[in-house]
Amino acid sequence: MSTTINSASFKIASIQMVSSPDLQENLNTASRLIRAATQAGAQLVVLPEYFCIMGLKDTDKVRIRESVGSGPIQKQLASFAKDNQIYLVAGTIPLETKDPGKVLNTSLVFNPTGQQIGRYDKIHLFGFQTNTERYQESETIESGSAPEIFKISHNNQEWIFGLSICYDLRFPELYRAMGTVDCHIIPAAFTYTTGKAHWDILLRARAIENQCYVLASAQGGTHLNQRRTWGHTMLVDPWGDVLADLPEGEGFIAGVLSKEKLNEVRSQLPALAHRKL
């Protein structure tokens, strides 16, 4: 795919982090990487799941939870978007629920003026257990209930983005429920074990079956809590080709969304129009 910027294309970037238990340290890292991605020409930047904290214990995220629309993390995110004049899909942050022991794992979207224009609460909560690993998000996270998309108007073109988070990737019915989108954005913190087995396959499958771009932002390394995440922040095109991939460590990938490519794939193989169920 050509990376030439024209009126029917949109430059995006996705950040990879190895987040720590230190909120301010993580915000500083996010700020630095957002600035670098913006300087590379990105108009929309994505942060990974749990970018603001990868705690020493699961309850650490409950300690820093914020109410909707207020709090230091949300204020900082709005500033990141405004200062860099970008759209920012802010990974996930913990928001309050009625249960004092739980949070919503929420992805927020900010426009270049710092206004929040989108919100998605993670629906599917990760559960995984072997002899050496155990994860049970439902113990500290309350599930969301509704699929969410957001739209951007750029150079007289409308771009439609779907929002999902990490474990959601395993549930194709969620992506069908969002309808036809130009790009699915997926902040994630896949474990090394499950990522090694399924990450690439699932991302490419969601792109192929929905004939859209998939932009994933990952955690990628060994964290202070000894959790190891898979990494491979990735951009996949509507034909299922991987356009960019950052295996591990902090950094970012950049690429271009093309209406021409979307139209080409959907016209040559009109699978979305052939659906029966």
Mind listing the pLDDT tens digit of every residue in the chain (277 residues)?
A: 333 456 789 999 999 999 999 999 999 999 999 999 999 999 999 999 999 999 999 999 999 999 999 999 999 999 999 999 999 999 999 999 999 999 999 999 999 999 999 999 999 999 998 888 898 999 999 999 999 999 999 999 999 999 999 999 999 999 999 999 999 999 999 999 999 999 999 999 999 999 999 999 999 999 999 999 999 999 999 999 999 999 999 999 999 999 999 999 999 999 999 999 9
Selected catalytic residue, list 11, 49, 52, 61: 49
Domain ranges of the chain: 9-274
CA–CA gap between residue 215 and residue 73 (Å, rounded): 23
Query: Which tokens in the block code for residue 35?
Result: 């600035």
Tell me how far apart the alpha carbons of residues 64 and 57 are, in angstroms, rounded to a whole number.
13
DSSP string over 147-208: -EEEEEEETTEEEEEEE--GGGGG-HHHHHHT-S-SEEEEEE--BHHHHHHHHHHHHHHHHH
52 given a catalytic annotation: no
Model pLDDT, residue 8: 86
Question: What separation in angstroms does the CA of 213 have from each of 89, 107, 194, 209, 261?
Answer: 16, 19, 22, 11, 10
Catalytically annotated residue among 11, 122, 248, 250: 122
Q: Is the pTM of this model over 0.75?
A: yes
Options 52, 166, 183, 212, the catalytic residue: 166
How many degrees, rounded to 5, is the angle at CA 236 between CA 177 and CA 30?
Answer: 90
Q: Which residues contact 274 (CB under 8 A, 6 or more apart)?
A: none
What is d(CA 251, CA 217) in angstroms, rounded to the nearest whole number? 10
Tokens of 132: 């050496």
Any catalytic annotation for residue 49?
yes
Q: Which CATH superfamily is domain 9-274 in?
A: Carbon-nitrogen hydrolase (3.60.110.10)
> What's the confidence (pLDDT) of residue 132?
85
Predicted confidence at residue 229, as pLDDT, reads 98
- Whether 166 is catalytic is yes
Predicted pLDDT of residue 1:
31
